[in-house]
Amino acid sequence: MLNNILNIWQKELMDIVRDRKGLRQTLVVPLILGIFYAVLNPLLGTLINSRQEDTLVLPVQGLEYAGEDFIDTFAQFGIQLEPFSGDLEATVASAEEAAGLIFTPGFGENVAEEQEATLIVRTNNTAGGLFGGGISLGRLELALNAYNQQITVQRLTERNVDLAVLAPVTLDMEDLASPAQRAGAAASFFLPILVAITAVQGGMFIAIDVTAGEKERGTLESLLVTPSSDAEIFVGKLASVFTVTAVPIALTLFGFWIASTLLPESMTEGAGALPVAVILQAILVSLPLALFANVILMVISIRTKTFKDAQSALSPVIFGVLFTAMAAAFVPPTGASLAYLIPVYGTSAIVGVLTLGGIVPANAVLFSIIGNVLATVVGVIFAMQIFNRERLLYSM
């Protein structure tokens, strides 16, 4: 039995190697994905930081009513107040500007005389796209708070009030995050999703080729009439698909690691790359998931008649894996939860913890492996109900 399985495994691998175009797609695309995701996350962070550091020009009506102290305070936060003529509220409402200020008459005098002074702020969070209005509003609030604090201190000083009454509690704050944790923070969202997608997509075209592809070419019929049993044929094919899938997983994660090591410190804020140990552990916990995914891909593919039909049928699997991995990123399990038994979800959650340099909950890895193995066993049992020569031969 083992000899038959090995022969089928060798035969499938030889067919895969001969298909140079398909092999390049299987190996090169995951490597490119790993590099892409490694660069994407810090690149987005750099764009956001540069947006925050750039001078923010805000249109203002009634700037003549503001005092010099107000203008100077805003300048310290990189906010330039620019006089605006026209209907400022309509301009902000139409998203032509992200935010605008309107000083009411007598603003500066009211502040000086300790009377209520009103500053009208109008914002539109949709202006400027994803990195537009929200950032403008955040910096604006910081500047307003600083100005209010400055005026409060000035008034208390004039009354000879000890400024310590403003801060009865002092804050001693220190960021204890290690360089590995800071490096992982950038990857904690993308890497679990990347691992899950690669575990499924890495062997998808091979799984289709050894099932629906062979049915379409008519070569599956020749294999089914050999003395090898249905189980031996299925396991041999599954072994070949899993062998090939393991390579893209490793290429993707090592590509991610290599690209992150080459990024300049200006993009990573000195955090550096993830430790190699994290990459290796991520590969190990991903392999059981890949085996389960291979079974699902083969079960679905064998029920189709052509390569194209199989591709269409497997599209929902990719989306299902993506949503499940995202759920693990947004709502991770707590403690040694049995949720780690859930395929895709448990694996993605573990990879997320590993990237952050945290301690993986006790039994979490074991639960993840058990969950994927049990799901694989169920998948194989179901597959054997379909993968028999009578049904396959007469359904072609």
**Which pTM value belongs to this model?**
0.63
The string of DSSP codes covering 308-339 is HHHHHHHHHHHHHHHHHHHHHHHS---SS-GG
Which token pair is 183?
């490096």
* Helix pair 276-302, 364-386: axis angle to 10 deg: 20
Q: Which residue has the tokens 């403008």?
A: 136
Q: By C-alpha distance, which of 246, 233, 195, 300 is closest to 11?
A: 233
Distance CA 120, CA 102 (A): 5
Residues of the chain with CATH 3.40.1710: 53-166
SS3 content of the chain, % helix, strand, coil (to 5): 70, 5, 25
Q: By C-alpha distance, which of 352, 252, 357 is closest to 26?
A: 252
Number of Cβ within 10 Å of residue 129's Cβ equals: 9
Q: Phi, psi (5° rounding) for residue 265?
A: -60, -25
Parallel, antiparallel, or unpaired for β 99-103 and 119-123? antiparallel
Answer whether 63's CB lies under 8 Å from 136's CB: no
Q: Could you tell me the mean pLDDT of each successive run of 10 residues in the chain, 396 residues long? A: 74 68 61 60 54 72 83 82 85 78 84 82 68 58 82 78 63 59 63 83 83 80 74 85 86 78 59 73 88 90 81 83 83 76 88 74 84 91 75 54
Q: Which pLDDT value is given to residue 388?
A: 67
Q: Which pLDDT value is given to residue 133?
A: 46
Q: Which CATH architecture has domain 53-166?
A: 3-Layer(aba) Sandwich (3.40)
Distance CA 202, CA 242 (A): 9
